[in-house]
Amino acid sequence: MAVKKETHVKAVPPRIREATFDDYPQIAALEAQYGLHPKLYEEWEHLWLENPVFRNLRAWPIGWVCESEDDGIVGYIGNIPLGYEFDGQPLLAATSRSLVVDSRYRPYAFSLLACFFNQKNVDLFLNTSVNEKVVKLQELFGAQRVPSGRWDRSAFWITNYRGFTASVLEKSGFLGSEALSYPVSAGLFFRDELTGRGLRGPAGKREARFCSEFDERFDMFWERLRRSSPDRLLAVRSRATLQWHFQYALTRKDAWVLTVGGQDGISAYAVFCRQDNPAFRLSRIRLIDFQSLDGSAERLKPILTLALERCQQEGIHMLEAVGFSAEKQLAIEKLASYQRELSSWRYFYKADGPYLASILTRPQAWDATCYDGDCSL
């Protein structure tokens, strides 16, 4: 009896190509499928077309896609150019965004990251929203953990005790979490009051003011900041760049800008952004950036006090801070009520060239914040 041999058709491997703006519908659908909350097209396009750095580049890929045999997009990584300075010299940085790959094509995440890290004429590669799934991939490409701050831990304040407690209990899977939230939240409130870490902030909060836009004072501040910090790597914080970075968050009132200063201009400012966790009905605002002309973290106190009061007034559950330089982190943790461990180290970098790579191994060369890279875009 003849036995017919089984034939196996070899699957055609997907191809990698540069992404285009026309790919948006498929990219957004893939992001949504894996819980990445895609931006609306106008806001997604804004990341490049209104980007001051992108506008001055002759050619820049907006990212890469992994395309299956039937032209379906099964993987994507975004590629955003950013301006930096060190020792008065401009640097071109690239940050990746939304690395996502269909589970059937997971090995091709390596190929997409290779496209990102193999770019020419880029001085610095930054990834500031790395999760536990891609830490090893970052290290395979020679990316290192930023040596400044703790990027696997956050400091936070509870600003709506009942809402925060209900969210945590729901996440933990407790039955009757709504009823339990009352006694637990009361206990947390009294704990903070007794330890002096409640909402009553330090004196001097009147020094800080909310600002509705980035006006001409921010250009003056940036010029003074860059002149006073030649030995630190700084992301460009010109008025135009700040406006591009936070435009949609400001329009939605999801970003708060607070300043300290008088007639001579701004002496310090901070930016906070909403970064909620809808899956657990947790409302959250994060401290994204803080800059002070004298390099001191002292002016952070009145800024945080005012932001905490607004969180309480608006019913936001918590205010959180991640990362920052050692001095800023120390100031934050002295004031913060709680800390939590994150699932991975979030901030990785890779410098092109031995001189810059050597400089950036020093913690004092950094002023790392969540303004860097993509985590607040």
* pLDDT for the residue 6: 40
Evaluate whether residue 239 is within a structural domain. Answer: yes
pLDDT over threshold 80, residue 322: yes
Residues 305 and 225 in one domain: yes
Phi-psi region of 20 (alpha: psi -120 to 50; beta: other; left: phi over 0): beta
Residues 168 and 154 in one domain: no
Distance between CA atoms of 28 and 32, rounded to whole angstroms? 6
* pLDDT for the residue 295: 85
Angle (nearest 5°) at CA 306 between 302 and 311: 145
- Give whole-number Cα distances, 29 to 36, 108, 130, in Å: 10, 18, 21
175-179, 208-212, 284-288, 300-304, range with the lowest pLDDT: 175-179
Residues 281 and 340 in one domain: yes
Q: Note the pLDDT tens digit of each residue in 121-161.
A: 999 999 999 999 999 999 999 999 999 999 999 999 999 88
Task: Give the pLDDT band of residue 210 (cuts 50, 70, 90).
Answer: very high
Distance between CA atoms of 111 and 180, rounded to whole angstroms? 48
Task: Give the pLDDT band of residue 191 (cuts 50, 70, 90).
Answer: low
CA nearest neighbour of 96 among 84, 118, 120, 78: 78
CA nearest neighbour of 197 among 336, 339, 313, 328: 336
Burial code of 189-225, b = ≥16 C-beta within 10 A, e = fewer? beebeeeebbbebeeebebbeebeebeebbbebbeeb
Distance between CA atoms of 189 and 183, rounded to whole angstroms? 10
Terminal alpha carbon distance of the chain: 67
Residues 255 and 220 in one domain: yes
Residues 285 and 154 in one domain: yes
CA nearest neighbour of 21 among 94, 76, 58: 76
Task: Tally the domains of the chain.
Answer: 3
Phi-psi region of 341 (alpha: psi -120 to 50; beta: other; left: phi over 0): beta
Query: What is the average pLDDT score of the chain?
Result: 88
CA nearest neighbour of 258 among 202, 295, 199, 306: 306
Residues 85 and 20 in one domain: yes
Residues 223 and 205 in one domain: yes
Residues 212 and 339 in one domain: yes
Evaluate whether residue 144 is within a structural domain. Answer: no
Instruction: Please give the single-letter amino acid code of residue 180.
Output: L
Evaluate whether residue 141 is within a structural domain. Answer: no
Positive or negative: CA dihedral 366, 227, 237, 211: positive
Evaluate whether residue 308 is within a structural domain. Answer: yes
Residues 285 and 317 in one domain: yes
Residues 226 and 165 in one domain: no
pLDDT over threshold 80, residue 189: no
Q: What is the pTM of this model?
A: 0.89
Residue 174 φ/ψ, nearest 5 degrees: -70, 135
Residues 219 and 329 in one domain: yes
Name the more confident of 2 and 156. Answer: 156
Positive or negative: CA dihedral 255, 256, 260, 266: positive
Q: Which domain holds residue 324?
A: 149-158+201-344
* pLDDT for the residue 194: 45
Evaluate whether residue 2 is within a structural domain. Answer: no
* pLDDT for the residue 176: 47
Evaluate whether residue 354 is within a structural domain. Answer: no
Residues 118 and 220 in one domain: no
Evaluate whether residue 365 is within a structural domain. Answer: no
